[in-house]
Structure 1
Amino acid sequence: MSGDPPGEPPPTGVRAFLRALGPGLITGAADDDPSGIGTHSQVGAQFGYGLAWTFVLSFPLMVVIQEVAALIGRVTGAGIALNLRRHYPRFILWLMVSLLLIANVVNLGADLSAMGAALTLLVGGSPALFTLGFGIICIVLEVALSYPRYSAILKWTTLSLFTYVGVVLVAHVPWPHALRSLVVPELQFNAAYATAFVAILGTTISPYLFFWQAGQEIEEQRRRHVKPLCLTPGSAGPELKRIRIDTLVGMAFSTLVSLAIVFATAATLHANGVRDITTSSQAAEALRPIAGQFAFAMFAVGIIGTGLLAVPVLAGSAAYAVTEMAGFASSLDAKPLDARLFYATIAVTTLAGASLNTIGIDPARALYWAAVVNGILAGPLMAVMMLIVRNPKAMGRLTVSRRQMVLGWAATGVMIAASALFLGFVVRDLL
């Protein structure tokens, strides 16, 4: 690997596998943020195992579109927003980034609020103060640390998601029923079931993850002092393999954790008649009398751990998009004074999210509207990404294969259809 010290043999075996993990693993883990945990808890509490099959459906869609995002960054050496700026009408760029910012700020508010509420459940105190404190901690870490050190912290933070595996192990899951539900859909033909289905897709295939993984591939390229693959196509083979493994593992990790949350809440909350859960902290509190103090504590600790991973990803993806839209350099390895807009965007979006509670906006309710924005944004953004990876002006000789193109457009079509279904229910509820 080009990042290894001169004279040191490249790693092999398990060490090589672990070294290959990075942007994809962190992106997959960040997908299970506190607001996503809230959605999955609600699905498990309300429908039991009835929607577990949707994670089998969403997994290949996640893999293909996140691989497309990674290829955009690694092959072109530029993020999604900068590629939009270079090759497509400017109004598309402004629309995509504006919608991303709105959705990210609301997601940040929901995640920080959930972290504050979880810590309050564990130790008591002021949720608002904890929410602000977590926001400040995330800003300081993201601004003060160099990229290699910060990416290592994010990588280790992914281990916090194993708390949900621990919860499943003590939740007395009826495994034959749970595993059967993965391949035998328990369909219900009603609006609540359809909306929950779309919500799962919306929380697993999110626009901020596209911008983040593309940006992280560029960060890795700079760290290793290598050129974009469009300039060195002869060296693309090992890099494309690394991206595929990294993305596959990251999305598999994300999917398994999501299923663990659904199974745990189905076996505890749903089985005991607790069906009305709207936030991750409510799910943690509801687990206490049913599954015991240990499961409650692990669930609450997991919310905080995943939030510490997801909040920087949400703010960082917004910063990559804004700086690229403005035509400036963006990097977590840059000094704050050399990348003012980049770090200012991180700080402003994080603090804006943390302040939602103080101005009377309910983050849980606002998250519903963030899902609407993500629903509007995800499908068209995926379509634009598919145009980028088939554009020789952007990708050089490394445009995606016909197989990747078919899979990518299939994922895009499913997301657009799901988003249209979701928006149809929103319009119906408003009328």
Structure 2
Amino acid sequence: MPVIELPDAKPEKEKPKGLKALWNLLGPGLITGASDDDPSGIATYSQAGAQYGLTTLWTALITFPLMAAVQEMCARIGVVTAQGLTGILRKNYPKPILWLMVLFSFPAIILNIGADIAGMGAVANLIFPNVHPIIFSVVFTALLLVAIIALPYSKFAAVLKWLCAILLVYLVVPFLVKTDWVSVARHTFIPAIQFNKDYVSVLVAILGTTISPYLFFWQATMEVETVKHDKRIVVNKRYIEDVGFDVDMGMLFSNIVMYFIILTTGTVLFNAGIHQIDTVEQAAKALEPIAGAGAYYLFAIGIIGTGFLAIPVLSGSLSYIISETFGWEEGLDKRLHEAPAFYAVIILSLLVGLGINYVGISPIQALIWSAILYGVTSPVIIAIVLHISNNKKVMGKFTNGGWSNLFGGLALLLMTAAAGFMIYFTFAG
């Protein structure tokens, strides 16, 4: 049932002002946005820049309002209903719809976890070439499991929040090299679309890694966790507006980083004749203008940092999906003995993801393919989110406004069209 709106409570003490107030407003939205630029995202955007130069810069302008609209819907659903997306489907919709969402979400998330773990191991091997990447992947998996299980949610969220700063390194490089800013402006505002399989595949990967289904689940459940933890929160129009601001800032941060990764690689790698990224070494070269011989170190820090940020989000999203499907006790705020099945899913997902390291797929290709898989599955999940957020039985008076439906509908159409073109070019040659 929807939460009944209550009068605004008067604060007991003076609220913080300025930058501190802004920082306090940022929470699940910022973490969600930053985790979107995970190793899979970095690999996808790097490949787009290396292969097509600056011609995909325009996608950052398109994805921001669409991504923000879908994530705001998910956040509002979590705040108003105090349930995750899967829990709402289980209680209010036919079982086939629930299983359809689980079916479309599970494979992509598992592949994404495995690809991120492999990517972290590969970049660590750049720094310590005598140690096999698999060993690093095992160590990182163990550290992640300990952190997810042992740290209370409040401390865990605070750590994730500060890890976001690692992604800012990409904003500096274009100002240190010779950059054709006229060309940058042209490709930013004038789309240059090529109707062939390779370009459409890159486009689907960009859309898939930017508007990713696992972020929908995470956003909703983290809003639920936030409300549960802070008993002072009053769910009313003002609070929902604050949540929307947090989401917008998180998605803006994500898209700015995405834009500058494409700009960096489109300037450095494309101009250096590197048009196909097959190894992490090639991707790391994009940071040479800022780090010189230390580019590998800077790239490794970025990939490992974003991996530690994104993998808990990925595994947590999957665990919430499965736990809500079967009605298990759930929550990152709970101890292992309080929600054993919930944490068992997290443990199993990381171990299965780690096992992907042994199937012989290169980390870069696995990262890009996980993004493409998201691009194909996203339309189904977006359609479900749109229906839930317009369902008055679920959302009460907090259903979508006109702008939410407009941009949410555009996101659905764009993702469907891109996936459709990719499938067409794949089978039609």
Do these two structures clear the TM 0.5 threshold for a shared fold by scoring above it? yes
1:287-298 mapped onto 2 (5 Å cutoff): 292-298=292-298
CA drift of 1:388 comes to 0.5
1:410 is paired with a residue of what secondary structure?
A: helix
Match of 1:132 in 2: 138
Match of 2:273 in 1: 273
1:95-114 mapped onto 2 (5 Å cutoff): 95-114=100-119
2:214 equivalent among 208, 218, 226: 208
Aligned residues: 421
Q: Do residues 162 (structure 1) and 152 (structure 2) align?
A: no
Residue deviations 1:148-167 (CA, integer Å, cap 9, x gap): 10000000111111122244
1:292-331 mapped onto 2 (5 Å cutoff): 292-331=292-331
Give me the whole-angstrom Cα distance separating, in 1, the residues matched to 2:289 and 2:252.
31
1:181 is paired with a residue of what secondary structure?
A: helix
Give me the whole-angstrom Cα distance separating, in 2, the residues matched to 1:345 and 1:427.
36
Contact 1:323 1:342 in 2 (8 A): yes
Q: Do residues 150 (structure 1) and 156 (structure 2) align?
A: yes
Give me the whole-angstrom Cα distance separating, in 1, the residues matched to 2:303 and 2:128.
14
CA drift of 1:203 comes to 1.0
1:89-100 mapped onto 2 (5 Å cutoff): 89-100=94-105
CA drift of 1:280 comes to 4.7
Letter matched to residue 313 of structure 1: V
Match of 1:382 in 2: 382
CA drift of 1:126 comes to 1.4
Residue deviations 1:180-220 (CA, integer Å, cap 9, x gap): 32112334343322222222111100100000111110010
Match of 2:355 in 1: 355
Give me the whole-angstrom Cα distance separating, in 2, the residues matched to 1:188 and 1:370.
22
Contact 2:41 2:371 in 1 (8 A): no
Contact 1:379 1:415 in 2 (8 A): yes
CA drift of 1:179 comes to 2.8
Contact 2:329 2:341 in 1 (8 A): no
Give me the whole-angstrom Cα distance separating, in 2, the residues matched to 1:209 and 1:11.
29
Give me the whole-angstrom Cα distance separating, in 1, the residues matched to 2:427 and 2:372.
11
Contact 1:67 1:247 in 2 (8 A): yes
1:12-411 mapped onto 2 (5 Å cutoff): 12-124=17-129, 125-225=131-231, 235-278=235-278, 280-284=280-284, 292-367=292-367, 369-411=369-411
Letter matched to residue 333 of structure 1: D
Match of 1:416 in 2: 416
Letter matched to residue 310 of structure 2: A
* Further displaced range: 279-288 or 119-128: 279-288
CA drift of 1:366 comes to 4.3
Contact 1:206 1:374 in 2 (8 A): yes
Give me the whole-angstrom Cα distance separating, in 2, the residues matched to 1:220 and 1:201.
28
Q: 1:70 to 1:278 in 2, by over 3 A?
A: farther
Q: 1:304 to 1:173 in 2, by over 3 A?
A: farther
Q: 1:373 to 1:274 in 2, by over 3 A?
A: closer
CA drift of 1:363 comes to 4.6
Letter matched to residue 54 of structure 2: Y
CA drift of 1:68 comes to 0.8
Contact 2:75 2:220 in 1 (8 A): yes
| CA-atom RMSD in angstroms | 2.4
Contact 1:209 1:317 in 2 (8 A): yes
CA drift of 1:425 comes to 3.0
TM-score for both structures, normalised by structure 2: 0.92
Give me the whole-angstrom Cα distance separating, in 1, the residues matched to 2:265 and 2:279.
12
Give me the whole-angstrom Cα distance separating, in 1, the residues matched to 2:212 and 2:200.
18
CA drift of 1:346 comes to 1.0
Contact 1:109 1:356 in 2 (8 A): yes
Letter matched to residue 112 of structure 1: I
CA drift of 1:361 comes to 4.7
TM-score for both structures, normalised by structure 1: 0.91
CA drift of 1:411 comes to 1.6
Give me the whole-angstrom Cα distance separating, in 2, the residues matched to 1:42 and 1:56.
19
2:337 is paired with a residue of what secondary structure?
A: helix
Contact 2:264 2:286 in 1 (8 A): no
Contact 1:24 1:246 in 2 (8 A): yes
2:189 is paired with a residue of what secondary structure?
A: coil
Residue deviations 1:309-349 (CA, integer Å, cap 9, x gap): 01111101101111111112321111111111111111110
Letter matched to residue 143 of structure 1: I
Letter matched to residue 297 of structure 2: A
Residue deviations 1:213-239 (CA, integer Å, cap 9, x gap): 111100101111267xxxx7xx52221
Contact 1:173 1:263 in 2 (8 A): no
Contact 2:214 2:314 in 1 (8 A): yes
Contact 1:388 1:394 in 2 (8 A): yes
Give me the whole-angstrom Cα distance separating, in 1, the residues matched to 2:111 and 2:222.
23
Give me the whole-angstrom Cα distance separating, in 2, the residues matched to 1:198 and 1:406.
21
CA drift of 1:367 comes to 4.6
CA drift of 1:371 comes to 4.1
Letter matched to residue 70 of structure 1: A
Letter matched to residue 39 of structure 1: T
* Further displaced range: 7-16 or 26-35: 7-16
Which runs of at least 4 in structure 1 moved beyond 6 Å after TM superposition?
none
CA drift of 1:409 comes to 1.6
Give me the whole-angstrom Cα distance separating, in 1, the residues matched to 2:295 and 2:171.
10
Sequence identity percentage: 41
CA drift of 1:301 comes to 1.5
Residue deviations 1:29-84 (CA, integer Å, cap 9, x gap): 01111111111111111111011111111111111011111111111110100111
2:236 is paired with a residue of what secondary structure?
A: helix
Q: 1:52 to 1:372 in 2, by over 3 A?
A: closer
